[in-house]
């Protein structure tokens, strides 16, 4: 039996057609997703450029965020130790 039809056997040609159609649709969706990601990346790049032009040190900002995340992780680990 086919994976999508509990009551009837679907012939091989129909199954092939269904899978080919699904792949076709998914390939188109993937292309649209890539377009969307490219638009998002261009927006990110524009904001990064603007911040650099305004004198913001993005590397320093990233380090601050990373350190804050480490501190949060450390405090949650301490709590987990206390609970165990």
User: What residue numbers bound the domain in which 7 lies?
Assistant: 1-53
Residue 82: per-residue pLDDT: 63
Residue 68: per-residue pLDDT: 87
Output DSSP code: residue 9. Answer: P
Domain tally for the chain?
A: 2
- 9 & 42 share domain: yes
For residue range 33-84, list pLDDT tens digits in order: 999 999 999 999 999 999 999 999 999 999 998 888 888 776 656 656 666 5
**What is the phi/psi pair of residue 26, to 5°?**
-65, -35
- 35 & 11 share domain: yes
- 10 & 24 share domain: yes
Contact by Cβ (8 Å): 10, 2? yes
Length of the chain: 84
- 2 & 32 share domain: yes
- 22 & 37 share domain: yes
For 38-47, b/e burial (b = at least 16 CB within 10 A) is eeeeeeeeee
- 49 & 75 share domain: no
- 23 & 48 share domain: yes
Half-sphere exposure of 45 (CA within 13 A, CB side): 6
């Amino acid at each position: 039996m086919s994976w999508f039809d509990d009551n009837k056997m679907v012939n091989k040609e129909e199954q092939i057609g269904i899978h080919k159609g699904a792949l076709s649709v998914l390939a188109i969706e993937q292309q649209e997703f890539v377009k969307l990601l490219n638009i998002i990346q261009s927006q990110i790049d524009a904001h990064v450029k603007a911040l650099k032009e305004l004198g913001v040190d993005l590397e320093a900002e990233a380090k601050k965020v990373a350190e804050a995340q480490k501190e949060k992780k450390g405090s949650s680990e301490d709590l987990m130790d206390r609970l165990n």
